[in-house]
Amino acid sequence: MAHHQTNRALRPEQLLGPLNDVEQKYAPETLYVAGVMDIPLPAPRAAIVGSRKASPNGVKAAEEIATRLAKSNVIVVSGLAKGIDTVAHTTTIEAEGRTIAVLGTPLNRVYPRSNLELQKTIERHHLVISQFPIGMPTAREHFIFRNRTMALISNATIIVEAKDDSGSLHQGWEALRLGRPLFVWKSVLDDESLVVPKKMLEYGAMKLREPEEVLEFLPSQDQALEVVQ
Amino acid sequence: MLLSELQYAALLSYASHGDSASVQHSRDIMLTLKRDGFFQGASNRQILASEWVAQTIQRNRSALPFASFLSPDTILVPTPKSSLGKEVAQVLSRVRPLRKAALSAPENRPLPKEYYDSMEVQKLLPEPSSIVLVDDIVTRGSTLLGAASRLAEAP
C-alpha cells in the first residue's frame, strides 16, 4: 500500500464514518490530521491513557498492554502527554504497531517540548490529530476536550493509572457516555485512595486483569456490517 | 416477589466467546448495537442500528416469535440503563446505578435481586393486559427478571 503524507482538515464523519446524535454532541466540527494513515481510519483502535507522573508499575502495565494490542494489529491511540501516554506511543512503535496521537495543541505545536521527536516520528510514520486550528492559543481545558475527542476516535479506552482529578478520567466518563467499552487497569481499582475509578465500575467500566481481555471487546477491521432492509 | 422465569423473544442471538470469524462478526454486531452505530443497508445506505432493529421487528411483528408478544394492547416498557439518565418513558427507572452486565465477566454480573433493588416503578400503568420489557442486549436475563419483578408488584 502506498503511504503518502496526508495533511488536511476533515469533518469527524470523514475520519470516523457516520456518527449518531450522542457521538455528535461533543464531536469537534473539524479535525486536523497529519500523517500516513488511511482515511477513514482503519480499525480497531484502542486508547491507552493515564497519569503524567507515571509510577514504575504504571509504566510496566502500559508497556504490557501496548505491546499486546500492537501485536494484535490494534491501533494504539494516546495523547502524547508525559508519562503513560508517552510509554503507550513509544512501546507501540517499538513493537512495530500503529499509533495515533491526539493533541491538546494545534498540529504545529508540541506539548510537552520533550516529545518533539516523538511527535515528528508519529507524524512521519503514523498519524497525529488535533481539533485545534493552527494559531489557536492553548488553554488548560483544551486537554480535557482532547480527551473527549480521543474517546470518540477510539473503539475502547483503557485507563492504566490515574488520580481522581486526572484528564484520563474525563475520557473514561466520555467513553461510557458513548457506549464504548471502558477498561480500568486492576491496580487503579486496588488503590484504596482512589474513589472515581471504582465509581466508574457502577456505570459500566470493566476491570482489566489481563491485556488480552480488551481484544474481546474490539470490533474487527472490517467496519461495514451489511444488513437486509 | 422475585420472578425466576420469563418468556422472551430475540431478533438476533449472540455468540459471545471465541475467535472464529462468525464469533467476531457477532461481536461486531453486538458492539454496534451497544453504541448505536451504523449498519450498511441496501445500496450502501447507512442505517442507525436502533432504527434497523425497530424496522425489522416492525416488519416481522405478525410472525413468530414477535406475534405472540405484540398484541394491540401490549405496553412496551424500556429497561432502565445502568446510568441514572433520562429514559424514553419513565415507567421503570434506575434509582441506584449498577455495573453493566453485558460488558462484565460472568462472575461479576449483577444478580436479579440487585437489579430489582436498583429500580423503582415511576408511573402507574393504565392496567395493561400485557407488558413487554425491551432491552438491547440480554445475557443472562437478570436485568429483565429484576425489572419484571418490580412491574409485577406495582399496584
A27-38 tens-digit pLDDT: 999 999 999 999
Q: Which of A26, A204, A174 is nearest to B83 (CA)?
A: A204
Dig out the grid coordinates for B24 from the structure.
467476531
Secondary-structure breakdown of chain A: helix, strand, coil percentages, each rounded to the nearest 5: 40, 20, 40
If one counts the domains in chain B, the total is 2
Is residue B62 one of the residues assigned to a domain? yes
Per-residue pLDDT of chain B (155 residues; tens, 9 = 90+): 788 899 988 999 887 777 788 888 888 998 899 889 999 988 889 999 989 998 998 888 888 888 888 887 788 887 776 544 444 455 665 656 556 655 556 666 777 777 777 776 766 566 777 888 888 888 888 888 888 888 888 76
Q: What is the pLDDT of residues A119-150, one digit of tens each?
A: 999 999 999 999 999 999 999 999 999 999 99
Angle formed by the axes of helices A84-94 and A56-71, nearest 10°: 40
Mutation pick from A23, A24, A202 vs chain B, by most beta carbons of B within 10 Å, is A202
DSSP lists the bridge partners of residue A208 as: A185
In the DSSP assignment, the letter for residue B35 is T
Residue A40 in contact with partner chain B when CB distance is under 8 A: no
- Name the average pLDDT for chain A: 93
| pLDDT value at residue A2 | 45
Q: Under DSSP, is residue A53 helix (H, G, I), strand (E, B) or coil? A: coil
Together in a domain, B120 and B149: yes
Q: Is residue B4 part of a domain?
A: no
Q: Is residue B20 part of a domain?
A: yes
Using CB atoms within 10 A of its CB, is residue A86 exposed (0-12), middle (13-18) or buried (19+)? Answer: buried
Residue B105, amino acid? A
Indicate if B147 and B78 belong to the same structural domain: yes
A46-69 average pLDDT score: 96
Residue-wise DSSP of B61-107? TTSTTGGGT--TTEEEEEPPPSS----SSTTEEESS----STTS-GG
Task: Decide if B109 is inside a domain.
Answer: yes
Q: What is the pLDDT of residues A151-166, one digit of tens each?
A: 999 999 999 998 876 7
- The Cα–Cα gap between A127 and A124 comes to 8
Q: Where are the alpha helices (DSSP H) in chain A?
A: 12-16, 21-24, 56-71, 84-94, 116-125, 142-153, 167-177, 186-190, 196-202
What are the residues whose beta carbons fall under 8 Å from the beta carbon of A162, sequence distance 6 or more?
Answer: A49, A50, A51, A168, A169, A172, A188, A194, A196, A197
Residues B50 and B118 in one domain: no
Contact A18 B46 (CB under 8 A): yes
d(CA A158, CA A76): 10
Of B24, B27, B37, the CB nearest to A20: B37
Q: With respect to residue B1, please indicate whether it lies within any of the assigned structural domains.
A: no
Q: What residue has cell string 449498577?
A: B98
**Beta carbons of B83 and A203 less than 8 Å apart:** yes
Q: The pTM is what?
A: 0.86
Helix (H, G, I), strand (E, B) or coil at A96: coil
Q: Return the CA Rg of chain A.
A: 16
Q: Is residue B2 part of a domain?
A: no
B48 interaction partners in chain A (CB closer than 8 Å) = 20
Closest by Cα among B67, B75, B57, B71 to B131: B75
Same domain, B154 and B85: yes
As beta bridge partners, residue A161 has A50
Are B14 and B78 contained in the same domain?
no
Q: Please report the DSSP string for A145-205 in residue order.
A: HHHHHHHHH-SEEEEEE--TT-HHHHHHHHHHHTT--EEEEHHHHH-TT--HHHHHHHTT-
Looking at the fold, whether B45 and B63 belong to one and the same domain comes out as yes
At which of B21, B38, B67 does a domain end? B67
Cα–Cα dist B98/B84, whole Å = 9
Instruction: Please report which confidence band the pLDDT of residue A88 belongs to, taking 50, 70 and 90 as the band edges.
Output: very high
For residue A218 the three cell numbers come to 474490539
Q: Which residue in B17, B31, B38 is closest to A17 by CB distance?
A: B38
Domain for residue B143, yes or no?
A: yes
Task: Report the C-alpha gap between A124 and A37 in whole angstroms.
Answer: 10
**Which of residues A115 and B131 earns the better pLDDT score?**
A115
| B45 shares its domain with B84 | no
**Residue numbers in A near B105 (CB within 8 A):** 206
Shared domain check, B75 and B139: yes
Cβ distance A22 to B42 less than 8 Å, yes or no, reads no
Nearest-by-CA chain B residue for A223: B28
Using CB atoms, pick whichever of A155, A201, A222 lies closest to residue B99: A201
For B128, the domain range is 71-155
User: Are residues B86 and B62 both part of a single domain?
Assistant: no
- Cross-strand pairs, A49: A159
CA B44 to CA A228: how far, in whole Å? 11
Let me know whether B79 and B137 are in one domain. Answer: yes
Higher pLDDT, residue B98 or A180: A180
Task: Judge whether B41 lies within some domain.
Answer: yes
Q: Do residues A11 and A30 touch, judged by C-beta distance below 8 A?
A: yes
**CB-side exposure of A139: number of CA atoms within 13 Å?**
7
Predicted local confidence at residue A1, as pLDDT: 44
pLDDT value at A98 more than 80: yes
B54 and B90 part of one domain:
no
Instruction: Please report the pLDDT score of residue B86 as a whole number.
Output: 45
Inter-chain touch A226–B100, beta carbons under 8 Å? no
Residues B112 and B91 in one domain: yes
